[in-house]
Amino acid sequence: MTDKLLESIIEGIKDKKGENISILDLRGIDGSLCDYFVICDANNTTQTEAIADSIWDRVHDDLGEKPIHDEGRQNGVWILLDYHDVIIHIFHRPTRHFYSIETLWNDAVRTDIENED
Q: Rounded to two decimals, what is the model's pTM? A: 0.94
Q: Quick count: other Cβ atoms within 10 Å of Cβ 72?
A: 19
Predicted local distance difference test score (pLDDT) of residue 95: 96
Q: What is the mean pLDDT of residues 41-55?
A: 97
Check whether 1 has a pLDDT greater than 80.
no
Distance CA 16, CA 51 (A): 6
Q: pLDDT digit string (tens) for 72-114? A: 999 999 999 999 999 999 999 999 999 999 988 989 999 999 8
Q: Quick count: other Cβ atoms within 10 Å of Cβ 48?
A: 27
Check whether 115 has a pLDDT greater than 80.
no
Distance CA 25, CA 18 (A): 20
Q: Where are the alpha helices (DSSP H) in the chain?
A: 2-15, 45-63, 93-99, 101-104
